[in-house]
Chain A
Amino acid sequence: MKRRLKCLKEAQAFVEKFEGALGKGKGRRLYAFKVMMTKKLIKFNRDFENFKTACIPWESRIKEVESHFGSSVASYFIFLRWMYGLNLVLFGFVFGLVVIPEVLMGMPYGSIARKTVPRDEQDSAMDFSVLFEFGGYCKYSIMFYGYYNNQRSIGLLQFRLPLSYLLVGVGIFGYSLMVVIRTMARNANEGGDGAEEGAFTFSWKLFTSWDYLIGNPETADNKFASTTTSFKESIVDEQENLKDENIHLRRFLRVIANILILCCLGGSGYLIYYVVKRSQEFAKKDRNELTWLQKNEVEIVMSLLGLVCPPLFEVISELEEYHPRIALKWQLARIFALFLGNLYTFLFALFDEVNAKLDNEKEIKNETIWALKEYYDNYTLHHNVTENIPPPNISPADVIRGPCWETEVGIEFVKLTVSDIQVTYLTILIGDFLRAVIVRFLNYCWCWDLEAGFPSYGEFDISGNVLGLIFNQGMIWMGAFYAPGLVGINVLRLLSSMYYQCWAVMSCNVPHERVFKASRSNNFYMGLLLLVLFLSLMPVIYSIMTLPPSFDCGPFSGKDQMYDVIMETIEKDLPPFMADIFSYASNPGLIMPAVLLMVLAIYYLNAVSKAYQNSNMDLKRKMQMVEGCVFGCCKSSGSSHSSSRSQATRASARYCPRTSTRSRHGKRKRWTTTTKIVSSKEFLFVLDIKFGTKSNFKGVIYAI
């Protein structure tokens, strides 16, 4: 450092002395000005970087978790923080562009029908039980779709609310997509130069397995133990691979296991469908007759399924006797299928309900038209005027209402999210906290050692938590269009979840027995998130495109399709040539070639990337050969302390004779092994390990 400081001071003095001399003649002033601005810019950039790092929230909290539990558990919290940031931005969009304009510039509560609680519900509108179900005043508030008025432009600024609502609804997906892909690209870049097929198993384990962020002695002890066992186990596992077993029995058992699991998945799907159907029947009955269980059946069933089925899958997968790593892949795929199946069955059931409501709406619409007609007739009768009849003077609370299916859908999603939050928090409280309390205090008067034996303290379930987070986000994406308040609820949930889970992890959990590093798992979770994003985009887009909006609630009421807003805007607000452009652009004759072009582009890029990979492999092989040759040269010329790689590359430019005896490419046999995994949850943090040994070591069995 001293040397560097000296150098720096010298350099700075030199530059100051000779700085002005660089710009000559007329341009001198300008040059000096430019130099000063550049310096200021550099300083500003540095300060901004410092400021940005200071702004990142919860850094110390996460660092504490990291030092106790290793970087894999901390990666969950970093993911949570990233999600919080994403949701905050989405909340900003929705709040700023949809909610605030409606509140400030739209009609206040109680002025028109859609914004008022109907007369017959007004008595119970403030009851806690009704509010808890998001009925009553909650239903007729900014939280749900039905509150928003369909006035084309509101307020002084002529803010086009319906257009804004539609664009924000679609923009949420666009922004999320952009952010997820950008993060994936960044992670992929940092992932090293793709030495997936490392020949360096043992070396890596030796040189890179220690996580320098570990600051807790208990974790360090765990790390020691796990390093030792991983050294030993990779050899034992390799022996297991060579065992020859009864293939037919295994295949049969696997088929049975898969059938069982398919039955489970089908059963859970059917259960959800059945329960949703029942809830529709319950909705027809009077609310007061239903028990709490009946009212919340759907949410309870879905949460229970999410809790019970994964362990069930784990038990069934014992039949299959897969390699632990493959077993974990299957397990995660099944949990994913379970969640997806549940969500989509729920959606389908909801869909039926929506269609029923649409039919109902037709009747009510006819009723209202008929009532209006009657009113006009009566008025004409009494006052003998046929024109300029004033509109009926009914209070907004008494107007006949349509069933407003969008609000109902929004309510369903909000209820689902809330129950998911409750279940998660309760699980942590009971599963971790209560368990820890029991183990700690009952240990004094129990026959066996609770801390070391059966219940012991829980470990933090990383993959379960991350999957839960991802699916929660999927539900938010689906529901945000129908319930703008849902994003706000999610922001609050993520915020509280951060503090709550940090506290729970520090006080109730112990570090994993095998302390893994979160190496390449980040992109896997991002990939899952991307998949969930697409899957949640589809129902929303479908409903926008095909289902007609309700006739009396929401910003699109009165139109045939929701996207008519865009057509209207193009016709009325934009200059006429834009309308022509859009009509040309939506011509199938133009779209088909565009799609074809994109497919061709994808194919071409794929081929190019494969070619790059091949040339990469070639270069690697060449480099290994050249380096072997170079080191042979350097050694033979006595300079064994080559201090830097650049020296080596300079040396390689010189001609050196190929020392064939030093070639390292003897015959290598490669076996794929994995380290043994204690619990099925640590899949993503196990490095895929291949090691090669010379063929004469093949017969050596490592007796431990």
Chain B
Amino acid sequence: MGGTSSKLPKDLLSEYQELTFLTKQEILLAHKIFSELQGGENGPYSSRVSMQKILTLPELKANPFRKRLCHVFSTSDMKDGSLNFEDFLDLLSAFSDTATLEIKSHYAFRIFDFDDDGTLDARDLEKLVNCLTGETDDTRLTAEEMRQLISNILEESDIDKDGTVNLSEFQHVISRSPDFVSSFKIVL
């Protein structure tokens, strides 16, 4: 473990296969990519890769939610978004083809919850819209449009009218969308 070209031991591989939605090839590919990201750092399996390095992956580079992804899947105590190999596998498993709708919607909710308070309130939604509309000024919505959009969304999704979208409401909305499962996918 942790050598120059560390191989994944077989029992760990089969355990990962049981615990995630990934196939053997996908786990091995993830291991290879993760080892490359680790670079020269030799360490046991729980060694962490910093968020900047994770964000250099081509699949994540163009994603507007990349930082949130790292934060959600990171189990580090320092809350710095660094991922170890098992976190990385968790991420890939949640975004894999065979993951169920419940898993995906659960993680989607946590990704969209920018302030980690367990609900999507107006501030979270605003940040979400800004993520989706890009960085430059001419693609952003004006304040008036934003307000209108957010009130439309809350009206559609907020069942108990408390001004926030909680997990159950979110899952209720998402489960009816035909595109969600196919768009919420990352393949290495």
Contact = CB atoms under 8 A, between A and B. Distances in A.
Interface in B80-96: 86-87, 89-90, 95
Interface stretch (A166-174, A300-308, A555-563, A636-644): A636-644
B168 A200 contact: no
Contacts of A631: 159-160, 168-169
B47 interface: no
Interface in B111-169: 112, 118-119, 125, 128-129, 132-134, 139-141, 145, 148-149, 152-153, 155-157, 159-162, 166-169
B6 to A, nearest CB: 18
Contact of A642 (B17, B166, B174, B179): B166
A4 B19 CA distance: 7
A250 interface: no
Contact of B167 (A5, A49, A643): A643
B132 A2 contact: no
Given A191-B178, A200-B173, A203-B173, A664 B183 contact: no
A220 interface: yes
Contacts of A25: none
Nearest to B27: A50
Interface string B1-31: 0000000000000010111000111000000
A50 B25 contact: yes
Interface string A42-64: 00001101100110000000010
A155 B166 CA distance: 74
Interface string A1-14: 11011001100000
Contact of B153 (A203, A518, A662, A700): A203
A204 B140 contact: no
Query: How extensive is the interface on chain B, given as a class?
Result: 35 or more
A63 B188 CA distance: 9
A70 to B, nearest CB: 10
Interface string A214-228: 111101110011011
A71 B183 CA distance: 8
A702 B145 contact: yes
B14 to A, nearest CB: 9
A42 B128 CA distance: 43
A5 B15 contact: yes
A200 B176 contact: yes
B33 interface: no
Contacts of A641: 118-119, 166
Nearest to B63: A212
B179 A220 contact: no
Given A203-B153, A228-B139, A645-B168, A193 B175 contact: yes
Q: At the interface, is chain A mostly helix, strand, loop or mixed?
A: helix
A662 B149 contact: no
Nearest to B129: A206
Contacts of A691: 152, 156
B96 to A, nearest CB: 11
Chain A, interface size category, equals 35 or more
Given A214-B62, A227-B133, A702-B145, A54 B25 contact: yes
A49 B25 CA distance: 11
B85 to A, nearest CB: 9
B185 A213 contact: yes
B34 to A, nearest CB: 13
Contact of B65 (A53, A210, A517, A520): A210
B58 interface: yes
Contacts of A645: 168, 171-172
A221 B133 CA distance: 9
Contacts of B160: 628, 631-632, 634-635, 662
B136 to A, nearest CB: 8
Interface string B51-87: 0000000110111110000000001000000000011
A225 to B, nearest CB: 6
Contacts of A209: 132, 179, 183
B29 to A, nearest CB: 11
Nearest to B118: A641
Contacts of B184: 208, 212
A192 B176 contact: yes
A224 B171 contact: no
Nearest to A232: B145
A632 to B, nearest CB: 6
A675 to B, nearest CB: 14
B140 to A, nearest CB: 7
A14 to B, nearest CB: 15
Interface string A156-196: 00000000000000000000000000000000001111010
A694 interface: yes
A228 B19 contact: no
B177 A204 contact: yes
Q: Which of A215, A517, A643 has the most CB of B within 10 A?
A: A215
B132 A210 contact: yes
Contact of B176 (A193, A214, A693): A193
Contacts of A208: 174, 177, 179-180, 183-184
Contacts of A518: 182
A701 to B, nearest CB: 11
A217 B167 contact: no
Contacts of B171: 645
Contact of B62 (A63, A219, A628): A219
A151 interface: no
Contacts of A190: 181
A203 B156 contact: yes
A225 B64 CA distance: 13
A198 interface: yes
Contact of B87 (A1, A200, A221): A1
A671 interface: no
A516 to B, nearest CB: 10
Contacts of B149: 202, 206, 231
Contacts of B167: 642-644
24 contacts: A1-B89, A53-B23, A67-B59, A202-B153, A203-B173, A206-B129, A207-B174, A207-B177, A208-B184, A209-B132, A212-B183, A214-B62, A225-B134, A227-B132, A228-B139, A231-B141, A519-B182, A631-B169, A641-B119, A642-B166, A645-B168, A664-B161, A691-B156, A693-B152
Interface of A: 1-2, 4-5, 8-9, 46-47, 49-50, 53-54, 63, 67, 71, 190-193, 195, 198-204, 206-217, 219-221, 224-225, 227-228, 231-232, 517-520, 624, 627-628, 631-632, 634-635, 640-645, 648, 662, 664, 687, 691, 693-694, 700, 702, 704
Interface of B: 15, 17-19, 23-25, 58-59, 61-65, 75, 86-87, 89-90, 95, 108, 112, 118-119, 125, 128-129, 132-134, 139-141, 145, 148-149, 152-153, 155-157, 159-162, 166-187
Leading 3 A-B pairs by shortest Cβ distance = A224-B134, A195-B176, A631-B160
Given A209-B183, A228-B141, A635-B160, 10 more contacts: A8-B15, A71-B182, A193-B176, A207-B173, A208-B180, A213-B183, A224-B132, A225-B139, A231-B133, A693-B155
